Structure formats: structure tokens, C-alpha cells
Structure 1
């Protein structure tokens, strides 16, 4: 068992205080957006061996972990985005490599050849947009507005209904050649603000547009956001985002676990590269409601298993004399998110405070958690 040296990612949507406060580090005024734990090459964790040397986690694991664990501290909304399925990621990665597109190029779409399903577990009240609304609800949202853009989109969707028509409409919205003018977008946003202020919102669609416009004026992703389900998670709840599901996280702090990939296709609400054609090809899922994951109790430990091969999340809250045994075997990462916990395996013990984490090798046997606090464990559900 090793305590992990983790990597902080400083994206502009991150909080300047949440992660520094959690880690007991001095705030430096920069946004601390994500804390990474895993073997991904863009932010690999490290471990300190018994001889005092520090090495990448992959040298200890002997392979790349199939999952990546993060803490997200969201101060401003993230971009609208979707993650590709495996075949699309593999082909896109090879194609861009053959074209000589650098991995850090702004217009690079595929950073690796892997798909990226993901799940978020809320540490604070958490809000996001996940998946398209049903067509009837999209019509309801658009018909509540009189702006020319809303009426045109409503007509387009009625002429080409259903999920495929909705995706094609979004592709046109995001196209630099077919998308709306700034004047049309401003009129759409202004009417959403008026409706929201007057108490005439429809399933929080106009509220969403009003809030996001404060950060992304003139972005066609504002219209797309109105077409998505808005969800709220209370602390202790989790939601799963499958590949091909359009989504955006709006606010809150969460633990995120995902397949070990950094592939993101953006659909707006960003200054980064947007690729409408790839996006339309990538969006596969229908207009389901939010993918809230119901946990299963395993000996007092809540297990959130969304049904993918790469990851599941176990959450144990302990206090007094209680001891929790985490399920699962294989290589695991245990993260403290509240209080102080001691993590024990057959090979030793580590005491962790919020934001501190430990890697537990497959040979270390079962993991027990005690103390006063909450720990989460990422593992592969074999």
C-alpha cells in the first residue's frame, strides 16, 4: 500500500479555494479544478518506495489502470461535451496521428484510443445537464418562446422529429456556416431571461440559459443547453454518463471516476475547439432522464456500479468503533473525502485526511476502513 502523490489540474472553471482548503495547501489565486489519481499520462500519480525514491504509479502497478479517479471543484460551468465510444476513439486517434496532429494541438479531438464512460458522486449539492429531453418536452420548451430562432428550431424539429432529427438540428446550430447569428442568439437569451424572471420557466430550461449566458454570451451552446435535462444531486448521490451522452456539469464538488481516457468532444460553452461533425457522429444515446445510480449495500458499504467493465465506486462512512470492509479485489485507489480514516490491508496501514489517497495492490488483500469520516474506493468490478 502506498500513499499517492497526486496531480492538480488548473482549468479556468475550477474553484480557487475548495481543493486548497481540502488539501491544507495555501491558495494561490489560481483555479484548482481537478485532483487526479491514476496512471493517465497527462497527470500520472506517483508513489514513494521504501528506499525513498519516487516513481510513477504505473511502475508499481505494472500496467495502466483501467480507471481514473478525480475530485472536481466546479466554480463555473464546464463546456457542453460528449465522450466517444471505443471504435470511434480508436479510429479517430489513429487518423489524427497519421495526419501528424500534435497531442497538445488546440484542434486535436482524440487524445487517446479509448472510450470514456464516467460517473460522478456528489460531495456537495451538485448540478448538471445530462442527456437530451424527450422530443415532446423540447417542443414544449421551444413553443414557450416567440423569438425567431426558437420558432425556426421548433419548425425544423417538427419537420424532422425524433432523436436523429434533434441531433441533426444541434449539428446545424453549432455549425459556423449554418448556425444562428449573434443577433438571433441575443434575442433568444433575452426572452429566456424575461420568461424566467416572470416565473414562466419550463423545466428549468430558461433558468439554465439565463445562468449560462452570464459566462458564455453569444455561444450557440446556450440553445443546446435548453434542450438537455437539468439534474441536481444531493451529497451522497451519483449519476452515470454513458459514452455518447451530451452533458455539462454546472456547479458543485464531486468525486468522478471514469475509464482511463481524456477524450472530450465539445459542443459549446467554451473557447476551445468545437467539432460539430464529429459530435453528430458521436452522440448515440436517446433522450433518457438523468442516469442516477442506485447504490447497493454490501455490508454497510454503498457500492455504485453502473454496469461498465472499467470501474465501480464503493463508499464507506465510519465512526466510533465501526469498521468497514471495502468490496472488490485487484488494484484499488482509496480516497478520503471527509474526516480522518485509517485504511488497513494485509500489507500495512495508512491514515488519510480529505484529498489524500492510497493505492492498494491486488496482492494486498481486503481493505478495511476505520476512524471518523468517509472514504471512497475506485475498483474494477470483476
Structure 2
């Protein structure tokens, strides 16, 4: 076992308080801190902190000894790479509207862009690696998001209650075809509108949202959200697209799984994010960055319905959040001091403490981690247990989902 030193990613939508406070740094931070990464992503890997105080990149360590760190079976299955990336995500402002590709779409898209000679950091590049990016977000605070397409009949009701004449025809088009194809047609219409039309339609929508947000009715939260987005991104087609999505608030400990093709935007809050080790994003708006509409439409899943909120299931003292993804599995422990809690064996694991403290014991070895601390456990390190040492201790354990 070894402690980890982890990189902080600074994006404009990040918080100046959450990650700085978690790490015991000065609050507020000098600039927004959006994500704290734990893993071996080539763009910003964690570093192993050795007993003598020296550091080694986790990415370099995996390259030099994949069999011990990943395990014989995992080494072959994951091609000698760590399959997951763990993050603390802290959003004070909305992220872009986005979706992620399936593994087949990622491989095809990456090969196509490589053949075209696009540089890895090209602004118009969609596929930065040949991997998919399913992800799980587990709330640390109240966490607000737009996730997946709402049932069309409910969206028709929302559009009618907005009483925006410019949207009336669109509402009736969806009412005439309240299904997967109707959503695709309306979304495609909106995201391909010329800027001159958006510059008229979005302000009209703002007026409707002002009326509906103050009504206290069924859609006042949705109206307030769209109003806030329109003020932050005036004239952006993503503001219209937000009308089609489920507005979700997670309570701490609740989670959402986002499979390939799910259109979503995190709005605000802090959470633990666990995903396949990829950086492939197809944007759909609410951003000045590149939006490749044809590629986005190829990736999107227009299946409608409320997203299932995961509360986890008991697993040997932990709460585990099961998903279809084989690249990752998240477990959480929360509660007061207790006896040793076994850390499941199998593959590489990362343990993160978000509050309180814990003693981590392995045969012949013992480490302590406190709030903001994390450690790496190689596949070869078995028989590990944790002993929470404070009433407010909360731990997250990331591993792969192979069992």
C-alpha cells in the first residue's frame, strides 16, 4: 500500500472551496478547482508516495510492473492499463451539455481521426482515445443535473405551460409523435437552428421561463434552470435542448449511472465520479467549445424516461453501486468508529477518505488516512482492512467490476 499525491484540474466551472477544503488548503483557492484525479490517466496521473518521501508516477509504475499492480488476470484483460479513473468533482457552474460514445463508436471515431492526421489536442477533435466512457456520479452534497431525455408527453406539457408562441409549433410536433423519433426530430431541429433564429427564440423562452419559474407549479424548477442557463449562455442551442432533459437532484450518497449516448449536464454540487479511463466527449451545447452535430447525433440515445437513482446495496460493511460497466465498481463506507471492515480482494484499488479518518491495515503494514487522503492497493496486496476512527468517517473504494 502506498499513499497517493493527486493532481487538481482547474476549469472555469469549478469551485474555489470544495477541493481546497477537502485537501486542507487555503480557502478560497486562487482559481476554480473543478476536479481532483485519482488514477493513471496519461494526461495527469497520480503519484505514489514512497516511505522515503520520494514519488513515482502511477502510470510509470504500472508500465514497469503491471503483473504485480494489476494482477495476472487483469493485466491481460485491461491490456496492462488501469481501467478506471476516480475523481472528486466540484461544480459551481454548469458543465457543457455532453454525451459519451460506446466502445465501438470510440474505436471507429478514434481510428478515423488518427487517419485524418488530427493532433491529439486539436479543438475539433472528438475522440482522444479508442475507449468508451461510461461513468457514475455519487453525490457528496446536493447534486443537481440534467440527465437523459424526459418522457415526451411530459415535455409537451412543459412546452405548453411556457406559453411561448415561438415554441407552440414545436410542442405540437412532439405531441404528434411522442416517442424516440419525435425527440430526435425536435432535438435535431433545435440544435441546427441558425444563430439568427436562436437570437430570437432564446429571449422569448426566457420570458416564458420567468413566468413559469414564479408560478410555483409543476415545472417551476425546470423553468428556473433553463432561465439560469439562458442567462449564462445567451443564444446557445443547448438552452433549448435542456428543455428536453430530466432535471435531477441527488442527495448525498445517491448516485447516477450514465451509459453511452446519455445526454447530460452537471449543474452544481460536489460528487465522487468514477468512470472508464477515457477522455472522449461529444458536446451538445452550453459551451464555447466545438460541437460536432452530426457525430453527436450518431452517438445519442433518445430513449426517454426518468433516470434510475442508485442508493447502493449492502456488501460486507460497504455500500456498493452496481452498474453494467466492467471497468469500475464504487463502494462507500459511512458511519462512526467500528471494528475492522474488510477491503475486498481482487485487482487494483484506490481508497479515498472524504471525512473523518481511518487506519488501513495489511499483513505487516499499517497506514492512516484522513480527510482528503488516498492510497493505492495493488492486486498483490490482499487481506487489507480499514478501521474508521471518527464519527463522521466516510470512505470511497474504487476498483474494477470484474469481481
TM-score range, shorter chain: over 0.9
Is 2:378 the partner of 1:379?
no
What is the CA–CA distance in structure 2 between the aligned matches of 1:363 and 1:174, rounded to whole Å? 50
C-alpha change, 1:349 and 1:176, in structure 2 (3 Å) is farther
Match of residue 21 from structure 1: 21
SS state at 2:352 partner? strand
Counting only pairs closer than 5 Å after superposition, residues 230-249 of structure 1 correspond to structure 2 as: 230-249=247-266
Between 282-291 and 304-313, report the one with greater CA deviation: 282-291
Equivalent of residue 369 in structure 1, options 386, 391, 395: 386
Match of residue 331 from structure 1: 348
C-alpha change, 1:343 and 1:365, in structure 2 (3 Å) is same
SS state at 1:363 partner? coil
Match of residue 173 from structure 1: 190
Match of residue 342 from structure 1: 359
C-alpha change, 1:346 and 1:288, in structure 2 (3 Å) is farther
Deviations 1:265-297 (A, max 9, x none): 111111111111111110125112123124111
Aligned length, in residue pairs: 382
Is 2:122 the partner of 1:105?
yes
Match of residue 184 from structure 1: 201
Is 2:315 the partner of 1:298?
yes
Between 97-106 and 132-141, report the one with greater CA deviation: 97-106
C-alpha change, 1:315 and 1:181, in structure 2 (3 Å) is closer
8 Å Cα contact 1:316-1:324 kept in structure 2: no
1:50 CA displacement: 4.8
Match of residue 6 from structure 2: 6
Between 106-115 and 54-63, report the one with greater CA deviation: 54-63
Equivalent of residue 315 in structure 1, options 332, 335, 359: 332
1:251 CA displacement: 1.1
Equivalent of residue 292 in structure 2, options 263, 275, 296: 275
8 Å Cα contact 1:149-1:185 kept in structure 2: no
What is the CA–CA distance in structure 1 between the aligned matches of 2:29 and 2:253, rounded to whole Å? 30
1:204 CA displacement: 3.1
1:308 CA displacement: 1.6
Between 159-168 and 239-248, report the one with greater CA deviation: 159-168
What is the CA–CA distance in structure 1 between the aligned matches of 2:163 and 2:287, rounded to whole Å? 27
What is the CA–CA distance in structure 2 between the aligned matches of 1:125 and 1:181, rounded to whole Å? 32
Is 2:269 the partner of 1:252?
yes
C-alpha change, 1:46 and 1:190, in structure 2 (3 Å) is same
1:156 CA displacement: 3.1
What is the CA–CA distance in structure 2 between the aligned matches of 1:127 and 1:292, rounded to whole Å? 13
8 Å Cα contact 1:328-1:381 kept in structure 2: no
Between 103-112 and 11-20, report the one with greater CA deviation: 103-112
1:358 CA displacement: 0.6
What is the CA–CA distance in structure 2 between the aligned matches of 1:223 and 1:263, rounded to whole Å? 24
Match of residue 69 from structure 1: 86
1:104 CA displacement: 1.4
Match of residue 55 from structure 2: 54
What is the CA–CA distance in structure 1 between the aligned matches of 2:46 and 2:195, rounded to whole Å? 44
Equivalent of residue 116 in structure 1, options 122, 127, 133: 133
Compute the TM-score of the two structures, normalised by the length of structure 1: 0.94
What is the CA–CA distance in structure 1 between the aligned matches of 2:253 and 2:53, rounded to whole Å? 37
Match of residue 36 from structure 1: 37
What is the CA–CA distance in structure 1 between the aligned matches of 2:179 and 2:95, rounded to whole Å? 27
1:336 CA displacement: 0.5
8 Å Cα contact 1:125-1:233 kept in structure 2: yes
SS state at 1:188 partner? helix
SS state at 1:144 partner? helix
Match of residue 82 from structure 1: 99
1:311 CA displacement: 0.9
1:92 CA displacement: 0.9
8 Å Cα contact 1:148-1:184 kept in structure 2: no
8 Å Cα contact 1:318-1:369 kept in structure 2: no
C-alpha change, 1:14 and 1:145, in structure 2 (3 Å) is same
8 Å Cα contact 1:338-1:353 kept in structure 2: yes
Match of residue 72 from structure 2: none
SS state at 1:214 partner? helix
SS state at 2:265 partner? strand
C-alpha change, 1:171 and 1:179, in structure 2 (3 Å) is farther
**Could you list the runs of 5+ residues in structure 2 that have no partner in the other structure?**
67-79
